[in-house]
Structure 1
Amino acid sequence: MKNLRIKTLAFILATCGLGVSAQTTFEEISADLNKAGGVYLAYPKVEAKQTPAPKGYKPFYVSHYGRHGSRYLLGDRDYLWIIQLMQKADSVNGLTPLGKDVLKRLTLVWQEVQGRAGDLTPLGVRQHQGIAERMTKNFPEVFRGKRSVSARSTVVYRCAMSMAAFGDRLKGLNPQLDISYEMSEKYMSYLNYHTNRSNAFTHGEKGPWVEEYRKFEEQQVKPDRLVSTLFSNADFIRCEVNPNNLMWGLYWIAVDMQDIETPVSFYDIFTAREMFDLWQCVNYRFYIGNANPLASKGIVMANAKSLVENIIESADAAIKDRSIAATLRFGHDGNVIPLLALLQIENFDVAVAGPSEVYKHWCDFKATPMASNVQIVFFENKKGDVLVKFLHNEKEVHIPVKTDNWPYYHWNEVRDYYQKRLAGM
């Protein structure tokens, strides 16, 4: 009986994954403070290996959705107001030695970031070039010869630049490919879609979760220690400094440094506990806004419905027309997260209530770091049987469809499963 229980548990773990990868801990984040940046985490190094396809099966098509690569903060103001505040304090001898040093570092960073708000960084370009290289290396048969690739992005420039970096590298490695590039409102209905019901639920001021979150954030954000290490003039602090705003502003700058070129860090001004507590707030807001929170009853996750429909339609077209090598789509973290949930990849569809519980079950930097992606790779044998496997950030993952040969699933069964799931939304 004991051996039977062990075998049963092993089967469940193998087929469902239990979403262990979606959990995180204080120890994990304190060991690598870049992870405290959540969705600002630079794309992790890919170390996972691909499981060989079953005998007789070869890849012929890749369906892809990718987030833009590493970027700068969304506004020049995100840097400038803190620089100006600290310059003002310095003019009245109101900075500590650490504060003066932080101001020097910020001034150095400003030289790179000024005028580049929201832009793709050089690292973001390299991330997508690397993903394209590994896609070619892992599935060379897909891109061999005169085949076509459709590449479409949202109307945000960093997404289009990510698409260009990816496509240019793909073309460089496979010169005969015919790649069509489009950045158009025409495709926003599935590349970046949000329903009115979802928007009402996720609204940052009127959503039903806001008051509970406000109290949670009050408990998590404790800026007084940080402020006292940077500013030495109590009158200046009282009259000029909003401690909460300052802590959040420095947090965003600190976590984005991993995404830019200037080799400067600001983690030394925070404790690991402060970073973890701030991250919990960010993680919860991304969960509420994009995943499958219990109170949403699935309406947030359903934002990916049109995207999954497009994935199925595009795959059907590629199965009929073997000149099609790949469908590439480029968007945002707020699109990758509901896609993971709707596809039920690992445990990213977990439904949790309560801001203090979310990090134990769901993690933003594991869902969608910079350049995060979902790939569905299609394989076929000579009999015409089509198998697929799912990759999340280039790692093989589980979906809740039965298979006797993970990570490979029969496409007809996968297609039927998701069509039934869509019909119930």
Structure 2
Amino acid sequence: MKRIISILWIACLSMMMTAQTPKQDIKNDFRFSGGSFLNYPGPKQHKLTPAPKGKKPFYISHYGRHGSRNITKPDRIHSLLSLMKQAEEQKALTPLGLDVKKRVEIIEAHVHERTGELTAIGAQQHKDIMRRMVERFPEVFKDKATITARSSISIRSILSMSNAMVQLKAMRPKLPINQDASLRDMHHLFHFDAELMAKASSDDVKAFYNTFCQKYPTTDRLIASLFSDTAFVTQHVNKESFVGHLFHLASDLQDTNISDQLTLYDIFTEEELYFNWKKRNAEWYLGWSFCPKNSGKAPYSQRFLLRHIIENADSCIQLPYPSANLRYGHDTVLLQLTCLLGINGYDLSTTDLEQLEQRGWIDYHVIPMAGNLQIVFYRKNPADKDVLIKVLLNENEATLPLQTDVAPYYHWNDFRNYYLQRINNYKE
């Protein structure tokens, strides 16, 4: 009976998380086309499954992406403006082109000397996530709990951590918090495996990706709406690069403090937004997943982080009081960790990029701004050896590729043994 209930729960969860397609999401809200730029939407699941009788949360292991931040690649803005100024001088811009140039100038002025910095939106995201964490799991945040927070040395990650800790302190003023950001922790918080990444960015992978992209054209109509002189376009405009930069800006605007003042989404058609998202989603898959084209091993870049998570948990399980390890970092790490764990089927291995959507491999379900993974631990008391865990991806209950008789909960020993074997068997 327990197994039947577990299977039904997994089926229901899968339906809840994939009931709406990216095409529908984008139709309802253009911001979803931004993929990893999506302003954190908050949890879909507001009521979590109660723990088995007698089990209470006592430890949380967490990894969170930094919150919304200012545009990170000003060279794209400069490239756009340089070309559009040249076109204006040669009277090669349409009225819409002139209007878009003015909007890009506003964006440039806004991000000047604030490239990549956490915005007020990003700060609030992490405050809200921490507030919900405390409200959902108050037993973990008792006054004598041990709270350890660590961040990558990126300023936006540090400020994300700091805003979360400010919220925690406001709710639990007596709680001691140990927070730090150091190069010493970067080995697991933001590890970059140069060998694996070289395979993911090989000429073969790039050619495979370009072939896929050719099926989803997004340039000609938009270019014609912005430039009035076809000769200028032929001589000076790299269409793919130009439209790619514009789409990047359009997507990234939702994370800035001027998101309510202007938009660039209106210059794209709904189909173009969907096609641009589709190509970017495939790019994430090719670069960071178990795709056979990239050697099928890219997520092992986060083997050190996964080992750190397991070792920290083993230590904290021995404590007679509650605790939490809160880590703050970046999208690539969170995505690869999700794939390495096989959460919600993100360990998908295929060379058919058309399968990604139908099989639920969707970037913004994992790495919106402030995306996060929470592993919550449960037991009856410190003497209880049957520790259970529940995994929350962006605050929604998630599945693992493990058998369980207590879904959505899993036995910690099963988790520990399965994933230690996985990373121990990996050959560098």
TM-score by length of 2: 0.91
CA contact (8 A) 1:201 1:208 kept: no
> In the alignment, which residue of structure 1 is the partner of 2:9?
14
Give the share of equivalent positions with the same residue, in percent: 37
C-alpha distance 16-288 of structure 1, shift in aligned 2 (>3 A): farther
C-alpha distance 166-18 of structure 1, shift in aligned 2 (>3 A): closer
Structure 2 counterpart of 1:373, one-letter code = N
Determine whether 1:387 maps to 2:383: no
How far 1:237 moved relative to its partner? 2.4
> In the alignment, which residue of structure 1 is the partner of 2:371?
372
How far 1:403 moved relative to its partner? 2.4
Structure 2 counterpart of 1:34, one-letter code = R
Structure 2 counterpart of 1:378, one-letter code = F
Farther-moved stretch of structure 1 (249-258 vs 318-327): 318-327
C-alpha distance 10-412 of structure 1, shift in aligned 2 (>3 A): closer
CA contact (8 A) 1:147 1:176 kept: no
Which digits, 9 at most, give the CA deviation of each residue in 1:110-164, with x for residues without a partner?
3322222122221111111110110011111111113221111122221111111
CA contact (8 A) 2:291 2:351 kept: yes
> In the alignment, which residue of structure 2 is the partner of 1:145?
143
Structure 2 counterpart of 1:230, one-letter code = L
Q: Secondary structure at the match of 1:208?
A: helix
CA contact (8 A) 1:340 1:348 kept: yes
Structure 2 counterpart of 1:161, one-letter code = L
Taking the aligned partners of 1:154 and 1:197, their CA distance within structure 2 comes to 21
> In the alignment, which residue of structure 2 is the partner of 1:26?
23
Which digits, 9 at most, give the CA deviation of each residue in 1:236-273, with x for residues without a partner?
32333222221011000001111112121111111111
C-alpha distance 266-327 of structure 1, shift in aligned 2 (>3 A): same
Farther-moved stretch of structure 1 (160-169 vs 83-92): 83-92
How far 1:81 moved relative to its partner? 2.5
C-alpha distance 11-207 of structure 1, shift in aligned 2 (>3 A): farther
Taking the aligned partners of 1:11 and 1:53, their CA distance within structure 2 comes to 13
Q: Secondary structure at the match of 1:109?
A: helix
Taking the aligned partners of 2:68 and 2:354, their CA distance within structure 1 comes to 28
CA contact (8 A) 2:188 2:308 kept: yes
Structure 2 counterpart of 1:215, one-letter code = T
Farther-moved stretch of structure 1 (376-385 vs 365-374): 376-385
Among 228, 233, 250, the alignment partner of 1:232 is: 228
How far 1:191 moved relative to its partner? 1.2
How far 1:102 moved relative to its partner? 1.6
Q: Secondary structure at the match of 1:221?
A: coil
Taking the aligned partners of 2:355 and 2:58, their CA distance within structure 1 comes to 42
Which digits, 9 at most, give the CA deviation of each residue in 1:186-207, with x for residues without a partner?
112211223343122112xx35
C-alpha distance 26-310 of structure 1, shift in aligned 2 (>3 A): same
CA contact (8 A) 2:3 2:405 kept: no
> In the alignment, which residue of structure 2 is the partner of 1:258?
254
Q: Secondary structure at the match of 1:209?
A: helix
Taking the aligned partners of 2:119 and 2:406, their CA distance within structure 1 comes to 40
C-alpha distance 188-324 of structure 1, shift in aligned 2 (>3 A): farther
CA contact (8 A) 1:41 1:370 kept: yes
Structure 2 counterpart of 1:27, one-letter code = Q
Farther-moved stretch of structure 1 (124-133 vs 30-39): 30-39
Which digits, 9 at most, give the CA deviation of each residue in 1:177-223, with x for residues without a partner?
222222222112211223343122112xx353221112222332341
Where in structure 2 are the equivalents of 1:133-212 lying within 5 Å? 133-203=131-201, 206-212=202-208
Structure 2 counterpart of 1:217, one-letter code = C
Structure 1 counterpart of 2:32, one-letter code = K
Farther-moved stretch of structure 1 (373-382 vs 323-332): 323-332
C-alpha distance 301-18 of structure 1, shift in aligned 2 (>3 A): farther
> In the alignment, which residue of structure 1 is the partner of 2:34?
37
How far 1:24 moved relative to its partner? 3.9
Taking the aligned partners of 2:164 and 2:318, their CA distance within structure 1 comes to 25
Q: Which runs of 5+ in 2 are unaligned?
A: none
Where in structure 2 are the equivalents of 1:253-402 lying within 5 Å? 253-262=249-258, 263=260, 264-323=262-321, 325-361=323-359, 362-382=361-381, 384=384, 385-402=386-403
C-alpha distance 239-294 of structure 1, shift in aligned 2 (>3 A): closer
CA contact (8 A) 2:42 2:395 kept: no
CA contact (8 A) 1:283 1:359 kept: no
CA contact (8 A) 2:69 2:156 kept: yes
C-alpha distance 284-14 of structure 1, shift in aligned 2 (>3 A): same
TM-score by length of 1: 0.91
CA contact (8 A) 1:16 1:346 kept: no
C-alpha distance 207-239 of structure 1, shift in aligned 2 (>3 A): closer
Q: Secondary structure at the match of 2:345?
A: coil
CA RMSD of aligned residues (A): 2.4
Taking the aligned partners of 1:225 and 1:47, their CA distance within structure 2 comes to 36
Count residues with an aligned counterpart: 418
CA contact (8 A) 1:344 1:400 kept: yes
C-alpha distance 60-405 of structure 1, shift in aligned 2 (>3 A): same
How far 1:25 moved relative to its partner? 4.2
